[in-house]
């Protein structure tokens, strides 16, 4: 089985490369500067030449705040780019894997009571910002088009060994500050890139298709997450719990981002508790600077 990775320089793309390399799988990977998924002719040329069995789309416009002013660009990548890939996968009969986000859901605080186990895959979607709307548009491309062979994985609070993310930001800031303000009224659970890739491969190997959630087990706030990062990393930085109103951002953030993984559990996949996932990530990051990406 031959894989083609788009967005190879990002968090997930980098994780995929290392996973496939470790497993000695056949793959080819393209950064967004090498393969712009908004260029349909280029996408078709590459897929027809490389003839992958599986296309893993890790390319996305993810600048949440900038998307408020660049909604057209977000749609170009997250909707039109997805359609280009899906169309070309259909033409060469390749299986397509695509990633989406908790931001497609309403994220209402009261939803934590309506969905105590997290949003199920089929919960009503109503994004609260431009980024979420662009990702939802990409989901609808797959769901409403004439595409048969695809797997859509939603993740939340994505973090891993490569690229920029909350865990690495907190570790960096803890070396600079004695106290850090972190919001405690946004709830969810992190998805760890190594777990996302492993679970995606598990679903692929078990011939699953459609929509699945991959996220850590256990509901926490960003402040809870930061405190655990500092405690496990052995730093003395104190978390100052603040409200979202005290940390204004251009794009509105969901108050509730927890994703249910019951559907994933039904496949007999082993679920990852968020604290265990953090332990594994921190262990990997200890040697991060000495590893070649």
Report the CATH number that the domain containing residue 123 is assigned in CATH.
Answer: 3.40.50.720
Look at residue 290 in the predicted model and tell me its pLDDT.
40
Q: What pLDDT, on a 0 to 100 scale, did the predictor assign at position 37?
A: 98
For the chain, the domain total comes to: 1
How many Å apart are CA 282 and CA 170, to the nearest integer?
Answer: 12
CA distance 210 to 93: 17
140 located within any domain = yes
Residue 259, number of CB atoms within 10 A of its CB = 27
The per-residue pLDDT for range 72-86, each reduced to its tens digit, is 999 999 999 999 999
Please report whether residue 235 resides in a domain: no
pLDDT at 233: 92
The answer to whether residue 230 sits within a structural domain is: no
**Beta carbons of 164 and 10 less than 8 angstroms apart:** no
Q: Is residue 127 part of a domain?
A: yes
Q: What is the pLDDT of residue 33?
A: 94
Catalytic: which of 27, 30, 99, 131?
A: 131
Token pair in block for residue 65: 């705040």
Q: Which residue has the tokens 């007999």?
A: 268
Q: Which among 109, 67, 58 is positioned nearest to 258, based on CA atoms?
A: 109
Flag whether 245 is in a domain: no
Q: Give residue 291's pLDDT.
A: 43
Which 3 state secondary structure label does DSSP give 217? strand
- Judged on CB neighbours under 10 Å (0-12, 13-18, 19+), 207 is exposed
> Is residue 149, in this structure, part of any structural domain at all?
yes
**pLDDT, tens digit, 9 for 90 and up, residues 175-196:** 999 999 999 999 999 999 999 9
Cβ atoms of 6 and 32 closer than 8 Å: yes
Read out DSSP for 178-229?
Answer: SEEEEESS-EE-PPBHHHHHHHHHHHHHTT--EEEE---BS-EEHHHHHHHH
What's the whole-model pTM score? 0.95
Low-confidence ranges of the chain (pLDDT < 50): 287-293
DSSP state of 128: S
Q: Mention every residue, 6+ apart, whose C-beta is less than 8 A from residue 55.
A: 3, 4, 6, 47, 85, 89, 94, 95, 96, 97
Distance, CA of 175 to CA of 178 (rounded, Å): 8
- Distance, CA of 149 to CA of 131 (rounded, Å): 25
Nearest to 166 by CA among 213, 246, 229: 229
Taking CA atoms, 68 is separated from 46, 96, 140, 244, in Å, by 32, 28, 20, 18
Closest to 12 in 3D by CA, of 216, 198, 197:
197
> What tokens does 204 get?
């692929």
Paired residues of 151 in beta bridges? 97, 210
The dihedrals phi and psi of 286, each to the nearest 5 degrees, come to -60, -35
Task: Indicate whether 153 belongs to any domain.
Answer: yes
Paired residues of 26 in beta bridges? 2
pLDDT (tens digit per residue) in 23-54: 999 999 999 999 999 999 999 999 999 999 99
Catalytic: 131? yes
Question: Which residue segment(s) compose the domain that 87 sits in?
Answer: 2-164+189-218+259-274
Domain-embedded: residue 226: no
d(CA 183, CA 247): 7
């Amino acid at each position: 089985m031959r894989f083609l990775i788009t967005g190879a320089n990002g968090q997930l793309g980098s994780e995929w490369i290392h996973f496939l390399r470790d497993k000695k799988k056949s793959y080819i990977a393209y950064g967004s500067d090498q393969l712009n998924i908004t260029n349909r002719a280029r996408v078709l040329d590459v897929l027809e030449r490389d003839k992958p069995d599986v296309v893993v789309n890790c390319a996305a416009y993810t600048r949440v705040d900038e998307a408020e002013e660049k909604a057209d660009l977000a749609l170009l990548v997250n909707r039109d780019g997805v359609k280009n890939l899906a169309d070309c996968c259909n033409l060469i009969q390749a299986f397509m894997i695509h990633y989406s986000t908790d931001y497609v859901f309403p994220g209402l605080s009261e939803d934590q009571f309506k969905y105590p186990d997290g949003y199920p895959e089929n919960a009503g979607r109503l994004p609260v910002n431009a980024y979420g709307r662009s990702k939802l548009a990409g989901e609808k491309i797959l769901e409403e088009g004439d595409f048969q062979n695809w797997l859509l994985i939603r993740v939340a609070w994505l973090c891993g060994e490569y690229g920029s993310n909350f865990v690495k930001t907190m570790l960096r800031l803890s070396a600079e500050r004695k106290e850090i303000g972190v919001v405690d009224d946004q709830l969810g659970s992190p998805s760890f890139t190594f777990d996302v890739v492993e679970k995606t491969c598990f679903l692929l190997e078990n011939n699953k298709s459609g929509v699945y959630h991959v996220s850590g087990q256990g509901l926490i706030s960003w402040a809870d997450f930061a405190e655990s990062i500092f405690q496990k990393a052995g730093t003395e930085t104190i978390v100052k719990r603040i409200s979202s109103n005290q940390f204004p951002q251009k794009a509105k953030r969901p108050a509730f981002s927890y994703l249910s993984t019951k559907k994933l559990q039904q496949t007999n996949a082993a679920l990852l508790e968020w604290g265990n996932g953090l332990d594994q990530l921190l262990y990997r990051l200890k040697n991060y600077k000495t590893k070649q990406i």
